[in-house]
A = this chain, B = another copy of it.
Amino acid sequence: MSNWEKNLRKITPYVPGEQPKNSNIIKLNANENPYPPSPEVINALKNFDAEHLRMYPNSSSLKLKSAIAKHFKLKESEIFVGNGSDEVIALAFMACFHSSKPILFPDITYSFYPVWCSLFDIDYQTIPLDKDFCVNIADYNRENGGIILPNPNAPTGMGLYKNDMEALFEQNKNSIIIIDEAYVDFGAYSCIELLHKYDNVIVIQTFSKSRSLAGMRIGMAMGNEKIIQTLEAVKNSYNSYTMDSIAIEVGTASIADENYLKQTCQKIIATRQRTTKALKNMGFHVFPSQSNFLFVTHNTVPAIEIFEKLKSDNILIRYFNLPRINNHLRITIGTDEQMDILLQHISNIVSMS
């Protein structure tokens, strides 16, 4: 080892999921939306004047913040935007979890939370989901340096309701609580209406799922001005211009088209209900989903076997080789046509086992 190498950070490479190169694949492994973004987004991109790219964007993405504020009836100063909700959460970890006590999150949840803790040297403690894979709010009634909770949770897809969230907030008034609402538009309860009641709560959402903009990288945080100001200060100490000029325009157009969002989510919810029923008929336990994916386990056929067989048939779903959930599968809701093909393949696999 050369002597300079001692100054390189020792870090376990976190390997993100690969995008398949084969375009014949039915891709139900990344919770992407099967429908294109709003026609307003497509217009905004078409009308964008590329010559503007020579100049820096507005560093506070004011146009986008203003659209989000109007949409959610909040103030611009209560909105933060970043380069995907992953960046927003990373910056929020740096801004809000500055405590010597451990932060709390579920044992089964978004796998990036412990990665950020490791990157930023934040101590954490995982709280086990109950035997039905539900979050039990009473378990979060302990000393902590902050809480992050996705609602609905991933990869289980199950959400908490208003009374649960209020109970969580009431019992943790000395901590900052981040609610990660990446999948909330598919039928879960959003805490945005509680933000003016609880000043220690921030809600993070993404444009990658319900708004079909995973390729554009837009995420947002909403909460009280003091937290948002600290988020801005951390962002401006990391990269003054996280949002490019096109993302600002495209995001603004997406927010403006509320009807399209609702229609798309309704279609996905309908497909989810139909798929749930079909899978139950084939002997699956299907957890009640409020997201754009299903979390399932089969009565007799091992998850890994179903996963591998579908993969060899060019259908990608998600298998996690992790404690407690290594016999489960996460299936993104695609179009009705995609789900019909999936169900046919699963039916063959299950009947042959």
Q: State the A residues within 8 Å of B (CB).
A: 2-19, 27, 30, 32-37, 41-42, 45-46, 48, 50-59, 83-84, 86-87, 90, 94-99, 115-116, 118-119, 145-146, 173-176, 199-200, 208, 212-217, 226-227, 229-230, 232-234, 236-247, 250
Contacts and interface: CB of A to CB of B under 8 A. Distances in A.
Given A232-B13, A234-B9, A174 B54 contact: no
A98 B230 contact: no
Nearest to A101: B7
Contacts of A35: 54
Contacts of A83: 83, 239, 242, 244
Nearest to A244: B217
A3 to B, nearest CB: 4
A241 B16 contact: yes
Contact of A239 (B48, B53, B57, B90): B90
Nearest to A236: B14
A33 to B, nearest CB: 5
A36 B232 CA distance: 30
Contact of A233 (B5, B12, B42, B229): B12
B53 A214 contact: yes
A48 B325 CA distance: 39
A335 to B, nearest CB: 12
A191 B99 CA distance: 42
A56 B33 CA distance: 10
A200 B230 CA distance: 35
Copies per complex?
2
Contacts of A246: 45, 215-216, 244, 246
12 contacts: A8-B98, A13-B232, A36-B54, A52-B215, A86-B238, A86-B241, A90-B238, A94-B119, A116-B237, A119-B234, A215-B246, A217-B243
Nearest to A53: B215
A183 B115 CA distance: 35
Nearest to A51: B36
B8 A95 contact: yes
Nearest to A89: B239
Contacts of A234: 9, 11, 119
A246 to B, nearest CB: 6
Contact of A48 (B45, B118, B232): B45
A217 B16 CA distance: 22
B94 A9 contact: yes
Contacts of A119: 94, 234, 237-238
A147 to B, nearest CB: 11
A4 B176 contact: yes
A44 to B, nearest CB: 9
B237 A215 contact: no
Given A2-B199, A4-B176, A239-B90, A51 B37 contact: yes
B240 A16 contact: yes
A59 B16 contact: yes
Nearest to A30: B56
A16 B173 CA distance: 33
- With most chain B CB atoms within 10 A of its CB, the pick from A33, A237, A247 is A237
A95 B233 CA distance: 22
A6 B227 CA distance: 11
B227 A8 contact: yes
B30 A54 contact: no
